[in-house]
Amino acid sequence: MKQAFIISLLAGAAFVCSRCGNDAVAVNNMKDLDENMLDMMTYHDNLGRYIKQGDADYALWLLNGMDSSLQVIAQKFTAHRKLTDPFSTSYKKMLRPSIKGMRGALQQNNFEEAKANYRLLTKKCNGCHIDHDVDENVVDWSSNDSYK
Ligand code: HEC
Protein backbone atom coordinates (compact mmCIF):
# COMPACT_ATOMS: atom_id res chain seq x y z
CA MET A 1 0.00 0.00 0.00
CA LYS A 2 2.94 2.31 0.70
CA GLN A 3 4.14 1.65 -2.85
CA ALA A 4 0.74 2.55 -4.24
CA PHE A 5 0.84 5.85 -2.39
CA ILE A 6 4.37 6.65 -3.51
CA ILE A 7 3.52 5.75 -7.12
CA SER A 8 0.50 8.06 -7.06
CA LEU A 9 2.66 10.87 -5.65
CA LEU A 10 5.25 10.28 -8.38
CA ALA A 11 2.50 10.28 -10.99
CA GLY A 12 1.30 13.60 -9.58
CA ALA A 13 4.84 15.02 -9.71
CA ALA A 14 5.26 13.80 -13.29
CA PHE A 15 1.99 15.46 -14.19
CA VAL A 16 3.12 18.76 -12.64
CA CYS A 17 6.45 18.53 -14.50
CA SER A 18 4.67 17.86 -17.77
CA ARG A 19 3.19 21.33 -17.32
CA CYS A 20 6.48 23.00 -16.33
CA GLY A 21 6.88 24.44 -19.83
CA ASN A 22 3.72 26.48 -19.39
CA ASP A 23 5.13 29.85 -18.35
CA ALA A 24 1.68 31.40 -17.86
CA VAL A 25 1.51 29.62 -14.49
CA ALA A 26 3.50 31.31 -11.75
CA VAL A 27 2.05 30.18 -8.41
CA ASN A 28 3.48 27.28 -6.39
CA ASN A 29 0.38 25.14 -6.62
CA MET A 30 -0.43 24.96 -10.32
CA LYS A 31 -3.26 22.51 -9.96
CA ASP A 32 -6.93 23.38 -10.31
CA LEU A 33 -9.32 22.45 -7.50
CA ASP A 34 -10.32 19.09 -9.00
CA GLU A 35 -6.67 17.97 -9.29
CA ASN A 36 -5.99 19.04 -5.70
CA MET A 37 -9.07 17.10 -4.65
CA LEU A 38 -7.69 13.94 -6.26
CA ASP A 39 -4.56 14.34 -4.09
CA MET A 40 -6.77 14.78 -1.01
CA MET A 41 -8.55 11.55 -1.93
CA THR A 42 -5.22 9.69 -2.07
CA TYR A 43 -4.25 11.00 1.36
CA HIS A 44 -7.71 10.43 2.81
CA ASP A 45 -8.08 6.84 1.57
CA ASN A 46 -4.59 5.77 2.65
CA LEU A 47 -5.08 7.47 6.00
CA GLY A 48 -8.18 5.35 6.64
CA ARG A 49 -6.37 2.15 5.75
CA TYR A 50 -3.45 2.90 8.08
CA ILE A 51 -5.76 3.85 10.93
CA LYS A 52 -7.58 0.54 10.39
CA GLN A 53 -4.22 -1.29 10.48
CA GLY A 54 -3.24 0.51 13.70
CA ASP A 55 -0.15 2.21 12.25
CA ALA A 56 -0.15 5.52 14.14
CA ASP A 57 3.19 6.78 12.79
CA TYR A 58 2.33 6.38 9.15
CA ALA A 59 -1.25 7.60 9.69
CA LEU A 60 0.14 10.74 11.35
CA TRP A 61 2.55 11.29 8.47
CA LEU A 62 -0.34 11.06 5.99
CA LEU A 63 -2.57 13.26 8.13
CA ASN A 64 0.07 15.98 8.36
CA GLY A 65 0.70 15.77 4.60
CA MET A 66 -3.01 16.08 3.92
CA ASP A 67 -3.41 18.95 6.37
CA SER A 68 -0.53 20.99 4.96
CA SER A 69 -1.90 20.48 1.42
CA LEU A 70 -5.37 21.54 2.59
CA GLN A 71 -3.84 24.73 4.00
CA VAL A 72 -2.19 25.45 0.63
CA ILE A 73 -5.56 24.84 -1.07
CA ALA A 74 -7.23 27.17 1.46
CA GLN A 75 -4.71 29.91 0.63
CA LYS A 76 -5.07 29.48 -3.10
CA PHE A 77 -8.81 29.03 -3.59
CA THR A 78 -10.18 32.21 -2.07
CA ALA A 79 -12.72 31.99 -4.89
CA HIS A 80 -13.55 29.27 -7.43
CA ARG A 81 -16.38 28.82 -9.92
CA LYS A 82 -17.48 25.64 -8.13
CA LEU A 83 -17.31 27.04 -4.55
CA THR A 84 -19.84 29.29 -2.83
CA ASP A 85 -17.37 30.33 -0.07
CA PRO A 86 -13.59 30.63 0.12
CA PHE A 87 -12.08 27.18 0.75
CA SER A 88 -10.48 28.51 3.96
CA THR A 89 -13.93 29.09 5.49
CA SER A 90 -14.92 25.46 4.89
CA TYR A 91 -11.49 24.23 5.98
CA LYS A 92 -11.79 26.00 9.35
CA LYS A 93 -15.44 25.14 9.97
CA MET A 94 -15.74 21.66 8.46
CA LEU A 95 -12.33 20.01 8.28
CA ARG A 96 -10.01 21.40 10.93
CA PRO A 97 -11.88 20.15 14.04
CA SER A 98 -11.77 16.49 12.94
CA ILE A 99 -8.15 16.83 11.73
CA LYS A 100 -7.11 18.20 15.12
CA GLY A 101 -9.09 15.50 16.92
CA MET A 102 -7.49 12.77 14.78
CA ARG A 103 -3.98 14.12 15.34
CA GLY A 104 -4.45 14.18 19.13
CA ALA A 105 -5.93 10.67 19.14
CA LEU A 106 -3.15 9.19 16.96
CA GLN A 107 -0.48 10.79 19.14
CA GLN A 108 -1.97 8.82 22.03
CA ASN A 109 -2.49 5.64 20.00
CA ASN A 110 -6.22 5.98 20.59
CA PHE A 111 -7.53 4.32 17.44
CA GLU A 112 -11.22 4.36 18.40
CA GLU A 113 -11.06 8.13 18.77
CA ALA A 114 -8.97 8.42 15.59
CA LYS A 115 -11.59 6.39 13.67
CA ALA A 116 -14.43 8.54 15.03
CA ASN A 117 -12.64 11.68 13.81
CA TYR A 118 -11.78 10.05 10.48
CA ARG A 119 -15.45 9.17 9.97
CA LEU A 120 -16.39 12.76 10.82
CA LEU A 121 -13.84 14.09 8.32
CA THR A 122 -15.26 11.75 5.65
CA LYS A 123 -18.76 13.08 6.36
CA LYS A 124 -17.52 16.66 6.03
CA CYS A 125 -15.83 15.92 2.67
CA ASN A 126 -19.14 14.49 1.46
CA GLY A 127 -21.16 17.30 3.07
CA CYS A 128 -19.28 19.89 1.05
CA HIS A 129 -19.75 17.85 -2.12
CA ILE A 130 -23.51 17.64 -1.48
CA ASP A 131 -23.67 21.41 -0.79
CA HIS A 132 -21.95 22.07 -4.11
CA ASP A 133 -23.74 19.43 -6.22
CA VAL A 134 -20.50 17.50 -6.70
CA ASP A 135 -21.16 13.86 -7.50
CA GLU A 136 -18.20 12.42 -5.56
CA ASN A 137 -18.67 10.03 -2.67
CA VAL A 138 -15.68 9.87 -0.31
CA VAL A 139 -15.46 6.41 1.27
CA ASP A 140 -14.67 5.57 4.92
CA TRP A 141 -11.67 3.22 4.62
CA SER A 142 -11.19 2.81 8.36
CA SER A 143 -14.32 0.70 8.79
CA ASN A 144 -14.27 -3.09 8.88
CA ASP A 145 -16.89 -3.13 6.13
CA SER A 146 -14.48 -1.62 3.63
CA TYR A 147 -12.39 -4.10 1.68
CA LYS A 148 -8.84 -3.97 0.08
C1 HEC B 1 -15.05 23.34 0.41
C2 HEC B 1 -15.80 22.23 -0.11
C3 HEC B 1 -15.11 20.92 -0.28
C4 HEC B 1 -14.52 20.15 0.70
C5 HEC B 1 -14.41 20.46 2.19
C6 HEC B 1 -14.04 18.96 0.04
N7 HEC B 1 -14.32 19.00 -1.30
FE8 HEC B 1 -13.81 17.60 -2.70
N9 HEC B 1 -14.66 18.75 -4.15
C10 HEC B 1 -15.21 20.01 -3.97
C11 HEC B 1 -15.60 20.56 -5.26
C12 HEC B 1 -16.25 21.93 -5.50
C13 HEC B 1 -15.26 19.60 -6.24
C14 HEC B 1 -15.43 19.71 -7.76
C15 HEC B 1 -14.17 20.35 -8.33
C16 HEC B 1 -14.25 20.55 -9.83
O17 HEC B 1 -14.95 19.80 -10.50
O18 HEC B 1 -13.57 21.48 -10.31
C19 HEC B 1 -14.68 18.46 -5.49
C20 HEC B 1 -14.24 17.29 -6.09
C21 HEC B 1 -13.65 16.24 -5.43
C22 HEC B 1 -13.15 15.05 -6.07
C23 HEC B 1 -13.26 14.72 -7.56
C24 HEC B 1 -12.07 15.27 -8.28
C25 HEC B 1 -12.04 14.84 -9.73
O26 HEC B 1 -11.33 15.48 -10.50
O27 HEC B 1 -12.70 13.88 -10.10
C28 HEC B 1 -12.57 14.28 -5.09
C29 HEC B 1 -11.90 12.92 -5.27
C30 HEC B 1 -12.71 14.99 -3.83
N31 HEC B 1 -13.37 16.18 -4.07
C32 HEC B 1 -12.23 14.54 -2.61
C33 HEC B 1 -12.36 15.24 -1.40
C34 HEC B 1 -11.91 14.76 -0.11
C35 HEC B 1 -11.19 13.44 0.13
C36 HEC B 1 -12.25 15.71 0.80
C37 HEC B 1 -12.01 15.72 2.30
C38 HEC B 1 -10.67 15.56 2.77
C39 HEC B 1 -12.91 16.79 0.09
N40 HEC B 1 -12.97 16.46 -1.23
C41 HEC B 1 -13.39 17.93 0.69
C42 HEC B 1 -15.40 20.64 -2.77
C43 HEC B 1 -14.96 20.19 -1.54
CATH number of the structural domain spanning residue 61: 1.20.120
Q: Which of 72, 75, 76, 136 gets mutated to test ligand 1 (max ligand atoms within 8 A of its CB)?
A: 136
Model confidence at 26, pLDDT cuts 50, 70, 90, reads: very low
Decide if 54 is inside a domain. Answer: yes
Distance 133 CA to ligand 1 centre (A): 11
Phi/psi for 83 (5° steps) reads -110, 140
Backbone angles phi, psi at 85, to 5 degrees: -125, 160
Q: Which residues does a 6 A CB cutoff place in the pocket of ligand 1?
A: 33-34, 37-38, 40-41, 44, 82-83, 87, 90, 94-95, 125, 128-129, 132, 134, 136, 138
At residue 21 the predicted structure's pLDDT band, cuts being 50, 70 and 90, is very low
pLDDT at 111: 97
CA dihedral 16, 48, 100, 130 (to 10 degrees): 70
**Domain with 39 in it:** 2-20+28-131
- What total of structural domains would you count in the chain? 1
Nearest CA to ligand 1 atom 17: 34
The answer to the question of residue 146 being in a domain is no
The yes-or-no verdict on residue 1 having pLDDT over 80 is no
Q: For residue 147, tell me if it sits in a domain.
A: no
pLDDT digits (tens, 9 = 90+) for 75-88: 999 999 999 999 99
Structural domain includes residue 90:
yes
Q: How much is the pLDDT for 24?
A: 42
Q: Is 12 left (phi over 0), alpha (psi -120 to 50) or beta?
A: alpha
Measured from the CA of 138, which atom of ligand 1 is nearest? Answer: 35
Question: Is the confidence at residue 51, as pLDDT, over 50?
Answer: yes
* Mean pLDDT in residue range 53-72: 98
